[in-house]
Amino acid sequence: MTSLNDLPLRDDLRGREPYGAPQLDVPYALNTNENPYPPSERLVKALGEAVMDVAGSLNRYPDRDAVALREDLAAFLNTDTPGAGLTADRVWAANGSNEIIQQILQAFGGTGRTALGFEPSYSMHPIITAVSGTRWVNASRDEDFGLEPGRALAAVEEHRPDIVFLTSPNNPTGTALPLEAIRAVLEAAPGMVVVDEAYAEFRRAGTPSALTLLDGHPRLIVTRTMSKAFAMAGTRLGYLAADPAVIDALLLVRLPYHLSAVTQAVARTALAHGGELLGGVEALRRERDGIVAWLRAEGFRVADSDANFVLFGTFPDRRGVWEDLLERGVLIREVGPPEWLRVSVGTPAEMAAFRTALKQSRGGTAPRTPRAGSVGNSEESL
Ligand SMILES: Cc1ncc(COP(=O)(O)O)c(C=O)c1O
């Protein structure tokens, strides 16, 4: 049997593990920060009709530049962030924001170039960076997972990176960055500054978006996704807002026709039903604030969260706690700083199950619903 070692694989890929948040069949999956509310029957019908509409022309390539979709995305961003003043030529879309990040690295990274991130943060940033041949350098966030502008500046000045990643709200900590920290990095960075706002729609009232900084900052890129608040993780649609020149750069690296006609039609239909899809966000915010308060009342350390997940700890044996919850049917994420765990915010029933399982786990109660099979968890975070 041929193994990977027998193949002429790139040296820098040897020994790497494929990305893999566990996809397990469990009663309560609270590990990948999805929106727990599926589309309504009415929307399922509309999505089906949208696919039917394009099905008859699937012999043709899709609109390579996805112009209509980009117009709809720009309109959405202008309602999300009044005053953003975005137009289709300042918005770009791809298969998930991971592909957006990959295109950014293909265009602005590469051999001999450096990307800087502030960890703990989204683990795909360093992974996509490395796979693009770009060097990754890591600076750390503050003790409370924020990023004090002086610390950010010092790291930018030390490393002079070609790309800086700032995640706000940050995964896995939930921390939103103040605009001053982003402004400080923008003023000092010699290259591109990417603000990953995958969770922006969950931010608490009064927390500004980096979209408000786009004017006058042609090296700023703000990335978003329909996978989280928009409840469309299965669609694979990520996007960005930036100066039109940035989109010109991405056109050089994107694959022709990268966004299928089906994806474009489904995403446009979802945007047209944005009111319904985003309708669950307020409930998820409330549920999040409730779980933060409950965990604190139970004596845990909990990071403030502007996202749809909560990082809590500390556990000398976090693997043991993670496994114990899984045995009770609740899958959360072993990610971030050692001794901390992350739970995605689900429906009230899912969060009740999480609270019960955690309490029982602390009390040493025997699991009620033992699971058979592997409970392996990857070190990588989603
Ligand atoms: C901070 C952050 N950015 C980007 C992504 C990628 O999302 P997607 O590729 O589904 O748009 C994720 C997914 O978990 C994330 O947490």
Is-contact 284 308, C-beta < 8 A? yes
Model pLDDT, residue 367: 64
Rg of the Cα atoms in the chain: 21
Domain presence at residue 118: yes
Ligand 1 contact, 98 CB (< 6 A): yes
d(CA 56, CA 38): 27
72, 204: one domain = yes
Model pLDDT, residue 334: 95
Please choose from 35, 98, 344 the residue to mutate so as to test ligand 1's pocket, defined by most ligand atoms within 8 A of CB. Answer: 98
Model pLDDT, residue 382: 42
Nearest Cα neighbor of 327 from 275, 368, 298 is: 368
Ligand 1 contact, 170 CB (< 6 A): no
Domain presence at residue 372: no
Query: In the structure encoding, which two tokens stand for residue 35, read together?
Result: 């929106």
Instruction: Collapse the DSSP code of 29 into the 3-class scheme (helix H, G, I; strand E, B; otherwise coil) and give the result.
Output: strand
d(CA 240, CA 3): 39
- Which residues lie below 8 Å from residue 306, measured CB to CB, with a gap of 6+? 169, 174, 175, 176, 199, 202, 203, 204, 207
Prior bond of 314 cis (ω within 30°) = yes
**C-alpha dihedral sign at 23, 24, 25, 28:** negative
- Which residues lie below 8 Å from residue 221, measured CB to CB, with a gap of 6+? 104, 192, 193, 194, 195, 240, 241, 242, 246
Ligand 1 contact, 126 CB (< 6 A): no
Write down the residue that tokens 């490393």 correspond to: 159
- Which residues lie below 8 Å from residue 38, measured CB to CB, with a gap of 6+? 231
Give the residue whose CA is nearest to atom 3 of ligand 1. 198
Output helix, strand, coil percentages for the chain, rounded to the nearest 5. Answer: 40, 15, 45
Q: Relative to the CA of 381, which ligand 1 atom is closest?
A: 14
Q: What is the CATH number of the domain that holds 272?
A: 3.40.640.10
147, 268: one domain = yes
Give the residue whose CA is nearest to atom 2 of ligand 1. 198
Spacing, Cα 99 to ligand 1 middle (Å): 10
d(CA 313, CA 292): 12
58, 189: one domain = yes
d(CA 80, CA 161): 30
182, 259: one domain = yes
Nearest Cα neighbor of 331 from 323, 302, 174 is: 323
Spacing, Cα 95 to ligand 1 middle (Å): 11
Ligand 1 contact, 238 CB (< 6 A): yes
Instruction: Collapse the DSSP code of 11 into the 3-class scheme (helix H, G, I; strand E, B; otherwise coil) and give the result.
Output: helix
375 backbone dihedrals φ, ψ, rounded to 5°: -120, 30
Instruction: Collapse the DSSP code of 343 into the 3-class scheme (helix H, G, I; strand E, B; otherwise coil) and give the result.
Output: strand
Spacing, Cα 25 to ligand 1 middle (Å): 22
112, 214: one domain = yes
Prior bond of 169 cis (ω within 30°) = yes
Model pLDDT, residue 366: 66
Label the pairing between strands 114-119 and 301-302: unpaired
Task: Tell me which of 277, 311, 341 is where a domain ends.
Answer: 277
Domain presence at residue 380: no
114, 146: one domain = yes
Give the residue whose CA is nearest to atom 13 of ligand 1. 382
Q: Which domain, by its residues, includes 346? A: 22-39+279-360
Model pLDDT, residue 377: 33
pLDDT average per 10 residues of sequence, the chain (382 residues): 93 88 92 96 98 98 98 96 94 98 98 97 96 97 95 97 98 96 96 98 92 97 98 98 98 98 98 95 96 97 97 96 97 96 98 97 69 38 40
Nearest Cα neighbor of 295 from 353, 358, 348, 367 is: 358
DSSP 182-234: HHHHHHH-SSEEEEE-TTGGGPPTT---GGGG-TT-TTEEEEEESSSTTS-GG
Query: In the structure encoding, which two tokens stand for residue 237, read together?
Result: 């649609």
Domain presence at residue 375: no
Ligand 1 contact, 382 CB (< 6 A): yes
291 backbone dihedrals φ, ψ, rounded to 5°: -75, -35
Model pLDDT, residue 364: 74
Ligand 1 contact, 116 CB (< 6 A): no
Domain count of the chain? 2
62, 191: one domain = yes
Residues in the chain: 382
Spacing, Cα 124 to ligand 1 middle (Å): 8
Write down the residue that tokens 């992350």 correspond to: 342
Nearest Cα neighbor of 137 from 114, 112, 105, 168 is: 114
Q: What is the CATH number of the domain that holds 309?
A: 3.90.1150.10
- Which residues lie below 8 Å from residue 118, measured CB to CB, with a gap of 6+? 138, 139, 140, 141, 147, 152, 155, 165, 166, 167
Give the residue whose CA is nearest to atom 7 of ligand 1. 97
Model pLDDT, residue 380: 37
196, 290: one domain = no
Q: Rounded to a whole number, what is the distance in angstroms from the first to the last CA of the chain?
A: 32
Model pLDDT, residue 357: 98
